[in-house]
Every structure is written in C-alpha cells, then in structure tokens.
Amino acid sequence: MSKNPSSLPLPMLPITRPSIDEETIAAVGDVLRSGWITSGPKVQAFEAALSEICGGRPVRAFNSGTATLEVALRLAGVGPGDEVISTPLTWVATANVILEVGATPVLVDIDPLTRNIDLEQLEAAITPRTRALLPVDLAGLPVDRDRLYAIAKRHRLRVVEDAAQSFGASWKGQAIGSIGDFVSFSFHANKNLTTGEGGALVLPADIDLGLCERRRLQGVKRAADGTMDVDVLGGKFNLTDLAAAVGLGQLRHLQEFTERRRALARRYFAAIEPALGLTLPPADFSNCNWHMFQPLLPAGSDRGAFIAAMKEEGIGIGVHYPPLHLFSLYRGLGFRAGQFPQAENVGARTVTLPLFPAMSDGDVDRVCTALSRTLKI
C-alpha cells in the first residue's frame, strides 16, 4: 500500500462530524439561562416534533438509544426464559439489552446483499420460547418491513426495531417510525440527527405511556398532592432540555441532511474505481438515509494496513461492526467462530468511509483518490 506522495500535512477528514448551526447553539444558551436544564418543556416540544414525523404516534425521548431498546423489551414483556432474535452484525448494545432484561439472544446470520438480518433464516430460528424480534437497519438501510411484520404476525411476536441508524429513512414512502411496533432511534453524536447523547422510542397503541415514563425514570408515579409511589423497576433514562434543544435545532435540517448524504453517496458510487475490487453497499436511494458508506475490502486485504495508510492520507476510516458473537462475553455464552459466515465475512472486510452533510464533493473525490493510491495493485 502506497503513501501520500506529498510531504505537506493534510487536515484529517473524520468519518463523521455533527452539523450544529448557530441558532441551535443560541437555543442551548437560552435553556441554560432559563434555569430549567433537565427534562422539561424542550423535551416535550422535541417529543411532539418527533411524533409529527412518526405519523402522530406517541414518542418518548430518552438519554440513549440503548435505553430505549431496554425499555421497549421490558414493555413488550420480555424477561427470563424468553428468547429474542437479532443479528450479529450490529453495535453490541443490540444484544446487550437482551441480556440486561434476562432473556437469551438468538442470533441469525445476515443477507450478504443487504447486510441486514436474513429474514428467511430468522423465521427458521423461531421457537416456542421466542418472544420478540429485534432487527437492525444497518447503515440506515431498512430491513424489509413487509416480510418482517408478516413473520411477526404469523408467529404472534412483538417487534422492537433497532432503527438507531435509520432516523430519516423510509420504507416504501413511509417514514421509519410511522409504522410498525416498537421503534427505537439513537441520537448519538455520530447519528444523522444528534442530541449529543440521546434516543427516542416510538410506542405502539397498546402500550401504557405512563408505564413507559415510569420505566424511563425510576418507576416513580407522582400524585397531585405531592405523594408518590414506585410500582415498577425503572432506570435513569430521561433526556435533558439541553439535549432536546439540540435535537429541535437538528430537526429543522433533517431533510437537508438526508438529501446531502444521498448526494455524497451517489458521488462515491460514481468516483470509486471498479478496478480497486471493493464491494460497494446496496445502491438504495429511496429508502436508505445513508448513515454510513461501507464498502468491503477485497478478500484477503490487510485492513489494519489499509486504515493506517488512509490515515497517512488524512482520511479517517471506521469499522462498523466486528461481529458481536466473536466478543469474549458472547463466546462465553456458547457462540463460536464460523457460526455466522456471512456476518463474519462482512465484519472482516468492512470499512466505513467519511460521510457527513458538511462534506464537499471535493472531500469525496479526495477519499476516492486516496483509495486509488492505497489499494493500487
């Protein structure tokens, strides 16, 4: 792999960077000056705005997408003795929350084309102990919602959509979150819309909103006379007004952000040289929000050397994700190498290229030029 021939230092192009405008920064200052900086009117306004995007469905904001998944599983009645089916190719939080509620994660290999959970194998993995399905929209590409919910209906299962990466994406013209069962979003700093840290849970009609709110904050139920009770175990999962102010500012630009990401992805497809041997992601420009752009390196490539060479070019490279069943915690639960060959193949070859709304077309060209130098045969 070759190095940048120039001796001049290059500014580092990260894999992502949030776009926060001055109006949003000023709004955070207003919250600080108001004296009400934890959950309050801004959180309520943020939830209302999210609900509008999600077709009027009830939405509650949380301090992380991980918390929304945990609470969704608890609200779905998942607990010890139950199984939850998910994918090995995701951030480990997806499976960790299954363990957190006392259930057993059952992992199913991915479809090598979409890199999402293989729905045919998913149905085959259902047992009498299966209580819920927990699919992941990898890189913002939605899992086939029609097939997913047909399977769930046949087997009378709850669905908790890990849509952490797909806020702003859609399925056949319907915004992710506007349809389905439980839908979990993340607003982490690297997401298409950020609150710094945060998340939101879209709730189905049969779930008690009050119970969700108690699960979110220590199980506390308050009465008008100042007394309180705790009737369920809750966490400390509430979002702050400071974070909600950032989210409200981000929402003003959501469509703009999504369109820019799609334009940058199109440029990657046009500019990456086919001779480099990269396997490009599915070219979905109607449903996907292009949270990440993830080609696969040629089989047998030294990914560590590639990352180092791109860093010398001033280009940040990510890896999303190592298959979680190969982590020590999950090996200890009985998972093993070779169990999910498609996920392991993608996990070993995947790299994440820079992609964020503030990037210029020239930034994409710079990445592609660096790819050509680094992977030159």
Q: Which residues are catalytic?
A: 191
Listed in sequence order, the residues at least 6 apart from 144 whose beta carbon sits closer than 8 Å to its beta carbon are 116, 119
Of 185, 198, 191, which is closest to residue 136 (Cα–Cα)?
Answer: 185
Please tell me whether the peptide bond between 268 and the residue prior to it is cis, using omega within 30 degrees of 0. no
Cα gap 245→161, rounded to integer Å: 25
Ordered alpha helix ranges (H), the chain? 22-34, 41-53, 65-75, 93-100, 119-124, 145-155, 209-216, 241-251, 254-271, 303-312, 328-331, 341-349, 361-374
DSSP-assigned beta bridge partners for residue 132 = 84, 158
Cα gap 276→274, rounded to integer Å: 5
Q: Is 177 exposed, middle or buried (0-12, 13-18, 19+ CB in 10 A)?
A: buried
Cα gap 44→38, rounded to integer Å: 12
Residue 120 falls in which region: left (phi positive, over 0), alpha (psi -120 to 50) or beta? alpha
Cα gap 255→249, rounded to integer Å: 13
